[in-house]
Chain A
Amino acid sequence: MGRYVIRRLLQALLTLGVALFLLHYMMALSVQIRGNPALLFFGGKRTPDPAMLAQVERLYGLDNKCYERPGDPCLTPFVERLQDYASGDFGTTLSGNRDVGELLAVYIPNTLRLFMFSTVTLVILAMLLGTWAARHRGRVIDHSVRGTTILIDSVPVFLILLAYTYIIAVPLTQWARGIWGSESFMGQLFRPNYSPDYPWTTMIVPGIILGTVGLATLTRLVRASQLENLGSDFVRTAKAKGLKKARITVVHVVRNSMIPIITGIGYLFAFMLSGAVLTEGVMGIPGMGRMIFQGVQRQEVNLVIVGLTVSAVVVVLVSLAVDLLYAALDPRIRYE
């Protein structure tokens, strides 16, 4: 067990290091090929005074000579940046000169809340629907569950979001406020946009909508793994032991079905990050997805890199958690 954990930890660190370096190298290459982003500081067309340009370059860490040699991996600035991150210094934004570390302190919790609602929605829906479909294998319920989830999944999440905000949210909010009042939970729940005054309530609906991303995949995964275990020899043994149906399901089916499901959740979590860009954009949630999107729009290189670094860390952490859960669930992995 100890060796397994250590190996997975080292793997996670290595993955993270490679991901961050690739990110850095892509950025360095784009500076080397496309030109100096510090010029943007002066409004693009104007040719700035060399001394001022040098100052701006120093300010944003672009003063290293490696940025003028295409193909150079620029290791020195990479290491310097990692050191800055480690000491809590995430730099500032080009426009407004705001501290990125402070922005993260607001954005990360918002995105985590969003993901919490999405993950809970996804897992509960997929487990219920998948189990239901497996119980009625080959019958109408099975086919309609599979058809409906595919249908939901194939509608792009931004379309659901737009339909919700423009068509459903306003009348629903008015109706709810007419009954319970505008300050009530129900009065806030259906709002078409996020409100910092109700950081939990107004996050529920966007979270649920984002949670439908990957619903079909996970539902099928749950259905397939439960069917596999329901027909397995050890479930037959459990029946022969005179156990009750409920106990067989809980003790001998659900736990065995969890392994592929956890894999799926880990995979879908990374998938949801891209959905977060859309959800946060449409619902006006100040979160990581919107931050990355705006960073790209405004050519804020630092903002984009910090945003992608955070998502790389999150994805690696989730995969690590998945690997550790495997070990907790399956002794064959634990004693490998």
Chain B
Amino acid sequence: MAENLRVVGDTLPGADLNAPLLEVEDLRVEFKVRGKRIPTVRGVSFTLEQGKTLAIVGESGSGKSVTSQAVMGILDSPPGYVTGGEVRLRGVDLLAQDEESRRTVRANHIAIVFQDALSALNPLWSVGFQIGELFRVHRGTSRADAKRRAIELLDQVGIPDAKNRVGHYPHQFSGGMRQRVMIAMALALDPEVLIADEPTTALDVTVQAQIMRLLKQIQDERNMGLILITHDLGVVADVADDVAVMYAGEIVERASIHDAFKRPAHPYTKALLRAIPRVDTVGRELEVIPGLPPNPAALPSGCPFHPRCWAVDPERCATEAPPYEEVTDDHRSLCHFAKEVYRDER
């Protein structure tokens, strides 16, 4: 842990070691498509502490991947632009930095694991080259040393026969092994924050569990902050400390994992939980959330969830955007009826 702190201070000028590891405040992202500005992330705030896991849950199109790319600074511009907010790493606002400083933050301090490792790895280079590239570019390591480090990393993420596999190409690995390669690559420079963007979505169920276990184990060993992005609440249940539920570019509920599962305070979270298949409800029809996620270019008025909400007040929800409601300390919900939903009165 002490070592982790030292690294941040050394390579991130102005870092305040008492500040939270990663703080995102009122982050806003817009996509400009054919002259139209489409808000995709609309004021997202969260805090990640060292050694903790934050799960960001939401349907596709809710803005969770865009949020992670904005934090990394790898949004494709055009069409995506960060239009407001702050992303502070140990107190340093990354959005205010120039591109060169941001570049060194990537992989050194914040690393990301993408969903589909087959397309996220370059098919024409060996995995050893792609991992070693990090050491060579950021640390000036020699080719031979970089390869040695790559073998160590592959070994750490549980790839058997790493010495041999280091020269293999992505297409020669199975899906689970490829995802391990991605993880090894993300860990290479020992970042303080790891973002895993749907790391298990493209994998078999049995392999999913292995990858989740690996991420958890690595996080414990290195005392990293982990952001786990997923559309599957079930995946995060036993690894996350906190949950942020995203809907239409906003965090609609933010709570500890225990609270979110036991006493959700937002109708959307509640609906999501009911949609998880469970052994004790076998035989009953699975509940689904009616309707489709809204089109970010034409959001519903008032609360964007109101057309699909089961607890809706037709007057208020359709006209008035809800404020954040604190149901308890550290448990916020973006709903007019947060307290009622929390107390199960609505």
Interface: A166 (CB within 8 A): no
CB pair B114 A236 closer than 8 Å = yes
Contact indicator per residue, chain A 258-302, by CB within 8 Å of chain B (1) or not (0): 000000000000000000000000000000000000000000000
**Chain B residue with minimal CB distance to A329?**
B124
**Chain B residue with minimal CB distance to A137?**
B78
- Size range of the interface on B? 20 to 34
CB pair B120 A243 closer than 8 Å = no
A234 to B170, CA, bound (A): 11
Between A233, A242, A244, A247, the greatest number of chain B beta carbons within 10 A of the residue's beta carbon is seen for A242
A29 to B125, CA, bound (A): 53
**Chain B residue with minimal CB distance to A242?**
B106
A335 to B125, CA, bound (A): 13
A231 to B76, CA, bound (A): 8
A255 to B108, CA, bound (A): 26
Kindly list chain A residues whose C-beta atoms are within 8 Å of the C-beta of B103. Answer: 242-244
- Residue from B74, B104, B169 in contact with A331 in the complex, judged by beta carbons closer than 8 Å: B169
CB pair B119 A242 closer than 8 Å = no
Between A239, A247, A255, A256, the greatest number of chain B beta carbons within 10 A of the residue's beta carbon is seen for A239
Interface: B2 (CB within 8 A): no
Looking at the assembled complex, report how far the CB atom of A322 sits from the nearest CB atom of chain B, in whole angstroms: 17
CB pair A331 B124 closer than 8 Å = yes
Provided the pairs A231-B76, A236-B120 are in contact, do residues A241 and B133 lie with their beta carbons within 8 angstroms? yes
Contact indicator per residue, chain B 74-90, by CB within 8 Å of chain A (1) or not (0): 10100000000000000
Interface: B236 (CB within 8 A): no
Provided the pairs A240-B72, A241-B134, A243-B137 are in contact, do residues A330 and B123 lie with their beta carbons within 8 angstroms? yes
CB pair B137 A247 closer than 8 Å = yes
Question: Which residues of A from 200 to 247 have beta carbons under 8 Å from B?
Answer: 231-234, 236-244, 247
Interface: B165 (CB within 8 A): no
- Residue from A236, A239, A243, A332 in contact with B123 in the complex, judged by beta carbons closer than 8 Å: A332
Contact indicator per residue, chain B 118-160, by CB within 8 Å of chain A (1) or not (0): 0111111110000001100110000000000000000000000
Interface: A252 (CB within 8 A): yes
Provided the pairs A242-B107, A247-B137 are in contact, do residues A237 and B169 lie with their beta carbons within 8 angstroms? no
CB pair B122 A234 closer than 8 Å = yes
Between A232, A237, A252, the greatest number of chain B beta carbons within 10 A of the residue's beta carbon is seen for A237
CB pair B124 A255 closer than 8 Å = yes
Provided the pairs A240-B111, A242-B107, A255-B124 are in contact, do residues A233 and B119 lie with their beta carbons within 8 angstroms? yes
CB pair A332 B111 closer than 8 Å = no
Kindly list chain A residues whose C-beta atoms are within 8 Å of the C-beta of B25. Answer: none
A176 to B179, CA, bound (A): 64
Provided the pairs A240-B111, A242-B138 are in contact, do residues A256 and B124 lie with their beta carbons within 8 angstroms? yes
Kindly list chain A residues whose C-beta atoms are within 8 Å of the C-beta of B138. Answer: 242
Interface: B328 (CB within 8 A): no
Kindly list chain A residues whose C-beta atoms are within 8 Å of the C-beta of B134. Answer: 241-242
CB pair A330 B124 closer than 8 Å = yes
- Residue from B122, B123, B172 in contact with A238 in the complex, judged by beta carbons closer than 8 Å: B122
- Residue from A232, A243, A244 in contact with B119 in the complex, judged by beta carbons closer than 8 Å: A232
A259 to B18, CA, bound (A): 51
CB pair A240 B106 closer than 8 Å = yes
Q: Which residues from chain A sit less than 8 Å from chain B, CB to CB?
A: 231-234, 236-244, 247, 251-252, 255-256, 329-332, 335
Known contacts A237-B122, A241-B107, A331-B123; 16 additional CB pairs below 8 A are A233-B120, A236-B76, A237-B114, A239-B106, A240-B106, A240-B107, A241-B133, A241-B185, A242-B105, A242-B134, A244-B103, A256-B124, A330-B123, A330-B124, A331-B126, A332-B169
In the complex, 8 of the A-B residue pairs with CB atoms within 8 angstroms, ordered by the A residue number, are: A234-B122, A240-B107, A241-B185, A242-B107, A252-B122, A330-B123, A332-B171, A335-B171
Q: List 5 tightest A-B contacts by C-beta distance, closest first.
A: A242-B106, A233-B119, A234-B122, A331-B169, A239-B74
